[in-house]
Structure 1
Amino acid sequence: MKHHLKPLLPLALALSLGACATVESRKPEIDNRFENATFKPLVSPDAVQAPADWWKGFASEQLNTLMQQAQADNLSLEATEARLRAAQASLDGAQASFFPSLTLNAGRQENTVKGTSIQGQATNNRGLFTSASFVASYEIDLWSRVRNSAKASELQLQATRYELDAARISIAGQLASTWAQWVAADQTVRLFETELGSFQTNLKLVELRFRQGGAVASDVFQQRQLVESAQGNLAQALSNRDVLLNSLALLVGQPPNKISLNRESLPALPPLPATGFPAELLNRRPDVQQAWSQVLATDRSVAAAIANRFPQLSLRASFSDQTPNSDSLFDNWVRNLSVNLVAPLFDGGARSAEVERQRALLDQAVAQYQDAAINALADVDNALIQETRQREAVDSFQRQLELAELSLKRLFAGYRNGTVDYLAILDAQQSTSQLRRNLVNAQQQLVGFRIALYRALSGSIPQSTAAEQS
């Protein structure tokens, strides 16, 4: 047996080690889809990289407080932290195979032997015995199966750490986006409150002209309908604002109706941050690094599955004794030393199937890594494009609103003088109201695109920042 196995040793070692080196040696090939990727030149060459706590650039103390609470109390983060602890425990369990196992067996038993004496009488011979044994066993890791299994667990732990970093970034982005939506909803509430008062004042003017004979009844009815429309819009805006406040409460780990915010305006955005080179982004993004760690972990699992097809060699030592007197236990002990070789001869192809399964999982992990990398690059480019174009849209809405308000002012002056028809006033009021809402929504979307850019560019939150927040 020994001579038959010896020629297979170099082949088995080559297979196991080759499986470990497969992914690393193919790294340039895996990355060739995005090695020449570029971003649109929309950022100033003098731009600086966004800080890890990018939300502080919005200059909102309320947002900063919410962010601290979310990083400390968000339930999704707590679940991810629990997965990290579980991954650490799995690694500890896998590394335990590096050491021998030692077990103790002890017992006390009673033996009764029934028989017949020479005189033909029934006899019962009873005896009490105390037994104990120590057993030590250790597997010699000939083909690195244990080492690769432990390394796979270590890489899984690393992937879970990256997952936690990515989750922190995701929660920060969700919280900042929801906060911006709440601020916009609050501004919309104030906008409808102002419009309602303005429409009611205009209604009094139309009713006065009706009493003076300068307007018809339909003008009064249409203006009243506009007042009712503003009241309905205000009710919906209040509902939307309250729902968003509950969403913020959930993100900071609180039940609904447990937080309150003061009124504030949407922030002015700082200059666009530097994007850096695509390769730098991929090394910085924790979700991409998580996907790569999964590739490396699966590659180690392939190596472990290959090694599992070869014989396993283990050592076993035991010390035991059995005596009727516990005081004399181990006075006369038995030692047993053995070397065990377990070689799979036939398993119906189970081990080969496991190797193929792990290889398929490796191909899946590589594809998922490439997908994560390409999406990371697209996230940055899309956010740059959207913010640039959204700025143009915001500027356009601001100019439109200025013209609409100027036109409405002139139309009311003509209406008071009797030179302008009421339908022109009605149309101008509705158009101006819609433009105000469009402007608030466009400003909120602009802030949202900046938050998306920060998320796309963000790396792991430094430990010092995380400690301050928790």
Structure 2
Amino acid sequence: MSQHRRWHRYLAVILALTGLSASSSGCRVTARHDFSDPPVAVPDRFRSPESSDAAPVPLEWWAAFGDDELDHLVRESLERNIDLRVAWDRLRQSVAEARIAGAALLPQVDVNGGASLTRTVQHGGTTATFPGARVRRDESDDQYFVGLGLGYEVDLWGRIAAQRSAATLRAQATREDAEATALLVSGRITDLWLTVIEQRALRRLVLEQIETNRRFLELTELRLSLGEGSALDVMQQRQQTAATQSELPVVESALEAAVLQLEVLLGRPPTQRLVLTASAFPDLPPWPELPAPAELCGRRPDLRAALRRLEATDEEVAAAVADRLPRLAISLDYDLSAPHLGRLFEREVTSLIGNFVAPLIDGGRRRAEVERRQSLVQQSLGAFAQSFLDALLEVESAIARERHQRVLIDRLREQVDLARQTVEESRSRYSNGLDSFLSVLTALQSLQQVERRFVTESRRLLTIRAELYRALGGGGWTRALEPSAPRELREIELPERPEEPTP
């Protein structure tokens, strides 16, 4: 047989085994379960207020606030945040693990070669020509060899395919983890940005209140000098002024802390060099269009990750069941050897070996492994159900909190107006000697407290809306992070889960 025909035969065997690799992995011994439907009773709709101007949630959900500075901060955090970069590195690791698991479905081919050079020198003996002379004999025994080995396990029961599918699903879950991390980071950036605006507004308000208290202090001192007031009035107003001044360090501390935390989330050192220009709260966006509760499984990355891990655990059950069944492995070796390199192709050895292994006695280890994997499926299913209920709770809680927060804001706005009127009336009566300064002091304290609370609760209303957006999974958030991933990770193609073949 010519060398070309031999190599053609060898390649034909390789192609046949590769085709067998693609077709034999379909004999799955357990059915693949469908976990796409939520594992708990799901309401038809959320208990949201009726709104004729409801707007869809943008994919980049923070854009609903319509602020360029916030948009810039969130985008920078998605590019530079350390936790998010770690999440991308975990994705790279899990993708590599999925490729490793899938490699066993293909034939493994190795090339080996070498040479052994042996020299034997023998001394002794004589010759007839030169009697008494010693003779030296040199002998050579050289060998050159090269070989090609192919090994392949026929995936009769789909064990390797199930392992690859499980690793693929876990890689996809890791991608969803990265998306969930980005959702958390964007939410934290938004909360801190609103906190910065809140503390700046409080600082302006406290400074205004300090100035107001000083004017009232001047009034009490004037009345005391005219003999119409008392030293107690002056002391009480000085105490009120000092109390208001003591609020300023608290506000400044909270403002600096928020800026420092923003810098860290942006991947910067906390140096207080971040320049922020926002000075007023954005308008509350229109009420969002709410999806059906069942759609949360597809919208929220944490639920998508939990679902992928549940499916991966189910695949591992199939692999454990198949591990109890016989295995068939095939090895093909093609070797060339000769004492000289020029004669290397004169002698060839080809061997094809089939190896059949069936578990017989293992002390119940494989059966116990199946039971363990099945219990993990039930645990994962329960965890997924609880995560889904928690997601429903987050949405419903955010809806309820915003509804009540709006009422609170209206009541506080009304209270501020009434408190201002009360201060003016009490001041007028005190100036005319119709009432004591205590009524002025009480009204002033009440006004300044409710003014500060109004600022805080206004920020809280916007924070609750941001929490609602995040509870909904943003605007869907599917593949929203491609621009923010490091360049080398944008090129990673996640392996797809193989379809379940028809028996």
2:108 and 2:242 mapped to 1: Cα distance? 80
Tell me which moved more, 441-450 or 91-100.
91-100
Match status 1:233 vs 2:247: yes
Match status 1:133 vs 2:147: yes
Match status 1:339 vs 2:350: no
| Candidates 387, 406, 409, aligned match of 2:424 | 409
Structure 1 gap ranges (5+): 1-12
1:445 and 1:340 mapped to 2: Cα distance? 69
Query: How far did 1:323 drift?
Result: 4.0
Match status 1:252 vs 2:259: no
| Candidates 26, 31, 48, aligned match of 2:55 | 48
Residue 132 of structure 2 corresponds to which residue in structure 1? none
1:226 and 1:408 mapped to 2: Cα distance? 14
Q: 1:199-218 to 2 correspondence within 5 Å?
A: 199-218=213-232
| Candidates 77, 87, 96, aligned match of 1:70 | 77
Match status 1:380 vs 2:395: yes
Contact kept, 8 Å, 2:61 with 2:475, in 1: the verdict is no
Residue 435 of structure 1 corresponds to which residue in structure 2? 450
**What SS does the corresponding residue of 1:336 show, helix, strand or coil?**
strand
Tell me which moved more, 385-394 or 216-225.
216-225
Q: 1:42-441 to 2 correspondence within 5 Å?
A: 42-44=49-51, 47-109=54-116, 127-256=141-270, 257-441=272-456
Post-superposition Cα deviations, 1:327-361, rounded to whole Å, max 9, x if no partner, equal 43343232221001122223333322322222122
Decide which structure has greater helix share.
1
Pairs aligned (count): 453
Match status 1:467 vs 2:483: yes
Tell me which moved more, 283-292 or 302-311.
283-292
**What SS does the corresponding residue of 2:30 show, helix, strand or coil?**
helix
Report the CA distance shift for 1:18/1:413 in structure 2 as closer, same or farther (over 3 A): farther
1:176 and 1:222 mapped to 2: Cα distance? 41
* Partner amino acid, structure 2, of 1:467: P
Query: How far did 1:136 drift?
Result: 0.6
Report the CA distance shift for 1:427/1:281 in structure 2 as closer, same or farther (over 3 A): same
Query: How far did 1:400 drift?
Result: 0.8
2:121 and 2:384 mapped to 1: Cα distance? 72
* Partner amino acid, structure 2, of 1:271: P
**What SS does the corresponding residue of 1:131 show, helix, strand or coil?**
strand
1:240 and 1:370 mapped to 2: Cα distance? 39
Post-superposition Cα deviations, 1:232-265, rounded to whole Å, max 9, x if no partner, equal 2101100101100111122222221241212421
Report the CA distance shift for 1:468/1:298 in structure 2 as closer, same or farther (over 3 A): closer
1:401 and 1:124 mapped to 2: Cα distance? 113
Report the CA distance shift for 1:167/1:34 in structure 2 as closer, same or farther (over 3 A): farther
1:447 and 1:174 mapped to 2: Cα distance? 13
**What SS does the corresponding residue of 1:345 show, helix, strand or coil?**
coil
Contact kept, 8 Å, 1:169 with 1:460, in 2: the verdict is no
Moved over 6 A (4+): 112-119, 121-126
Query: How far did 1:166 drift?
Result: 2.4
Report the CA distance shift for 1:159/1:465 in structure 2 as closer, same or farther (over 3 A): closer
2:368 and 2:484 mapped to 1: Cα distance? 49
Query: How far did 1:34 drift?
Result: 2.3
CA RMSD, Structure 1 to Structure 2 (Å): 2.9
Identity %: 30
1:45 and 1:382 mapped to 2: Cα distance? 22
Query: How far did 1:468 drift?
Result: 8.5
* Partner amino acid, structure 2, of 1:183: I
Report the CA distance shift for 1:32/1:291 in structure 2 as closer, same or farther (over 3 A): closer
Post-superposition Cα deviations, 1:169-227, rounded to whole Å, max 9, x if no partner, equal 22222221221122111111111111111112222222222222223223222222222
Contact kept, 8 Å, 1:320 with 1:330, in 2: the verdict is no
1:403 and 1:466 mapped to 2: Cα distance? 52
**What SS does the corresponding residue of 2:56 show, helix, strand or coil?**
coil
Report the CA distance shift for 1:114/1:208 in structure 2 as closer, same or farther (over 3 A): farther
Contact kept, 8 Å, 2:78 with 2:484, in 1: the verdict is no
TM-score (norm 2): 0.82
Query: How far did 1:27 drift?
Result: 6.1
Query: How far did 1:370 drift?
Result: 0.8
Query: How far did 1:92 drift?
Result: 1.7
2:258 and 2:353 mapped to 1: Cα distance? 69
1:133 and 1:339 mapped to 2: Cα distance? 19
2:485 and 2:345 mapped to 1: Cα distance? 60
2:475 and 2:376 mapped to 1: Cα distance? 27
Query: How far did 1:151 drift?
Result: 1.2
Residue 19 of structure 1 corresponds to which residue in structure 2? 30
